[in-house]
């Protein structure tokens, strides 16, 4: 069954669209409440109406049911539509919503279905270090 992109960002806990050598669109949809089955679980709102990203739990806006973040995030899947940067294969996959360490950077990791190249989705603005590469090269002195 082909993955359907979300209609609205309100339906997502996480969404990213990356372009470069290959393209990636990834999202995590909000789960329905396990208690009332009407509302969708999400982080609670602050008094100013914005989402409290640092909250240790997810809540249902309909019935105020609460679930710890770690328990809730273990049930979620990251859905991905991608174009492989190596073989240009277009595919889609789903992986657990859990970041793993990939070459020194926290990333969501999946493999191309055709060539099995490992493709990471890093946090924004994080560069992957090649093996044996140091952070910065010292500049030559002008003497």
pLDDT interval class at 104 (50, 70, 90): confident
Domain ranges of the chain: 1-31+76-126, 32-74
pLDDT tens figures, 6-65? 888 888 889 999 888 889 999 999 999 888 888 899 888 888 988 888 999 999 988 889
**CB-neighbour burial class of residue 1 (10 A; exposed 0-12, middle 13-18, buried 19+):** exposed
Length of the chain: 143
pLDDT at 137 over 60: no
pTM summary value: 0.78
In angstroms, the CA 31 to CA 60 distance is 10
């Amino acid at each position: 069954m082909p993955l359907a992109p979300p209609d609205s960002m309100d339906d997502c806990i996480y969404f990213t669209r990356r372009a470069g050598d290959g393209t990636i669109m990834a999202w995590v949809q909000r789960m329905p409440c396990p208690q009332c089955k009407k509302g969708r679980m999400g982080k609670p709102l602050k008094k100013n109406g914005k989402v409290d990203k640092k909250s240790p739990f997810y809540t249902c806006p309909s019935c105020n049911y609460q679930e710890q973040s770690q328990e809730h995030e273990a049930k979620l899947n990251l859905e991905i539509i991608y174009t492989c940067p190596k073989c240009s294969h277009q595919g889609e996959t789903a992986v657990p919503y859990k970041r793993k360490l990939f070459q020194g950077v926290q990333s969501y990791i999946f493999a191309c279905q055709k060539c099995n190249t490992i493709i990471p989705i890093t946090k924004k603005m994080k560069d992957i270090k090649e093996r044996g590469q140091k952070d910065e090269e010292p500049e030559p002195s002008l003497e």
